[in-house]
Amino acid sequence: MKYYIKTFGCQMNFNDSERIKGMLQTLGYQEAKDWKEADIILINTCTIREKPDQKVFSHLGEYKKLKEQNPKALIGVCGCLAQRMGFELIQKSPVVDIMFSSFNMHQLPELIQQAQAGYKAVAILENPPDDEDKLWDYPTVRDNPYCAYVTVMKGCDKNCTYCVVPKTRGRQRSRSIESILKEVRDLVSDGVKEVHLLGQNVTAWGKDIGKHFSELLYRVAEIDKVERIRFTTGHPKDLDEGIAKAMGEVGKVCEHIHLPFQAGSDRILKLMDRGYTKEEYLEKISMLKEYVKGITFSTDVIVGFPTETEEDFEETLDVLKKVRFEQVFSFKFSPRPDTPAYSMEGQVPDQVKTQRMSRLLQLQKEIMGEVAKSYEGTLQEVLIESIEHGNKLIGRTRSNRWASMEGGVEMLGKVVKVKVIRSYPFNMECELV
Ligand code: SAM
Ligand code: SF4
């Protein structure tokens, strides 16, 4: 029996898919290279913007052909779109046999049994069930043997007015420190060198269980074989001095942070309910630079939030100029049903969003070109993750930049020192030293 999983969305969804693969392999399934060979197809969905929603339905249209060759094949939809749409999704696409949200992933084995017996197997709940921690008993199946994601919390307690996540993933639930450390120990004994702690608002980890995120950093770093630690996504409001201090003190924590600011205008930030001003965001950046020598930054930005004026947008560009991010993930505002921003007055026409977006991309392209140049001639530490054509090693620097260099297969999984010869916005050509 074979499975095929198609994943949309953020790293959390990718890590959920790795866990689902682990569950399916525990049940005796193997991964199919192509969906046409599969006995079960699952689409792990994202509904953060409108575009990923549409993609799910076009994939379902294609995958339903599987049932013509293999009438017993099962098709499932899970993740955020499943949670948001519920039964409406099955009504719209009756080819779906199994549907569950991120609250119910641990129920997949029962759902498969129900679907095999000919029923529509649906597990969508309003709130997370008490036994959702059963999920952590299953292994993950990863493509990268050296770097692994570890989900440390579910849900989000913020209420950003544009965002569906609190609805689709529920309130914040921090995973216990013991459960996280156990997974990290298992991963490193399996050869993993770098762990990437994941949560929608990872800097708030622990607030619901009387703990602080810095403690998690210190404790993960105590595990001998862990060589590098990263985390995503930080929220500026919860990023406090304790976290900055821990990042500086724990040598295993990489000098990089993804810290979305979303907008530069205080008026827009207020409408978004982000809980900070532009000035406060920039102060957090200064604090991080003070505690963490050489730290680099990446961010997320939303362009064209309702009522955004030219002056507001200029404030966003100003943050880009001041911080000089290594990378910016920019999104045109997409009104999501059941969020406050969906029905706000002053929706910005798509043409204006597109035009502002292209100006933002142009500015960021220039900044990234200059940032890239500043790496030339420097020494960097790279964890080698893969090899191409037998001698091209590929890895990431501590500052989260891709680097390639000549070398042999014996370097895979090793942390090496390199000199940067040429540097481009998304890649650097280096030499081993
Ligand atoms: N929790 C993270 C945070 O607070 O920054 C981000 C979570 S979200 C999966 C990733 C990014 O999608 C957000 O940072 C935001 O820039 C973008 N996003 C979320 N909702 C959006 C919407 N309705 N329209 C456009 N972009 C959106
Ligand atoms: Fe969404 Fe805001 Fe939570 Fe991020 S912090 S997941 S943007 S509600």
Interval 303-348: pLDDT, tens: 999 999 999 999 999 999 999 999 999 999 999 998 999 999 999 9
Summary mean pLDDT of the chain: 95
CA 166 and chain centroid, separation? 15
Is pLDDT of 55 > 90? no
| C-alpha distance from residue 316 to each of 277, 353, 357, 429 (Å) | 12, 13, 11, 32
Q: What is the mean pLDDT of residues 179-190?
A: 97
> Which atom of ligand 1 lies closest to the CA of 301?
16
Distance 163 CA to ligand 1 centre (A): 6
- What would the pLDDT profile of 217-252 be if each residue is shown by its tens digit? 999 999 999 999 999 999 999 999 999 999 999 999
HSE value, Cβ hemisphere, 13 Å, CA-based, for 358: 5
CA quadruple 269, 272, 276, 282: dihedral positive or negative? Answer: negative
Position 362 scores a pLDDT of 98
User: Which structure tokens are listed for 91?
Assistant: 């009504």
| C-alpha distance from residue 174 to each of 158, 202, 409 (Å) | 14, 9, 39
Q: Residue 50 — very low, low, confident or very high, per pLDDT cuts 50/70/90? A: confident
Measured CA to CA, the distance from residue 75 to residue 58 in angstroms comes to 14
User: Which structure tokens are listed for 347?
Assistant: 């929706």
Measured CA to CA, the distance from residue 78 to residue 80 in angstroms comes to 7
Position 387 scores a pLDDT of 96
- What would the pLDDT profile of 95-147 be if each residue is shown by its tens digit? 999 999 888 999 999 999 999 999 999 988 888 888 989 999 999 999 999 99
281 lines ligand 1 (CB under 6 A): no
163 lines ligand 2 (CB under 6 A): yes
Mutate-to-test residue for ligand 1 from 44, 81, 302, highest number of ligand atoms within 8 A of CB: 302
Is pLDDT of 53 > 90? no
Neighbouring-strand partners of residue 74: 40
Nearest to 83 by CA among 19, 50, 126, 121: 126
200 lines ligand 2 (CB under 6 A): yes
Which residue's CA is the closest to the ligand 2 atom numbered 2? 160
**pTM here?**
0.95
Is pLDDT of 296 > 90? yes
Q: Residue 54 — very low, low, confident or very high, per pLDDT cuts 50/70/90? A: confident
Is pLDDT of 259 > 90? yes
CA 337 and chain centroid, separation? 22
Q: Within 97-240, where are the H helices? A: 108-116, 165-169, 177-189, 213-221
Distance 260 CA to ligand 2 centre (A): 10
Is pLDDT of 283 > 90? yes
Cβ count near 383 (within 10 Å): 21
177 lines ligand 1 (CB under 6 A): no
Is pLDDT of 287 > 90? yes
Position 43 scores a pLDDT of 96
- What would the pLDDT profile of 141-171 be if each residue is shown by its tens digit? 999 999 999 999 999 999 999 999 998 999 9
Q: What is the mean pLDDT of residues 1-10?
A: 94
Percentage of the residues of the chain whose pLDDT score is greater than 90: 89
235 lines ligand 2 (CB under 6 A): yes
Neighbouring-strand partners of residue 102: none
Which residue's CA is the closest to the ligand 1 atom numbered 20? 163
380 lines ligand 2 (CB under 6 A): no
Percentage of the residues of the chain whose pLDDT score is greater than 70: 100
Position 414 scores a pLDDT of 97
Is pLDDT of 411 > 90? yes
Q: What is the mean pLDDT of residues 30-55?
A: 91
Position 197 scores a pLDDT of 98
Q: What is the mean pLDDT of residues 40-56?
A: 89
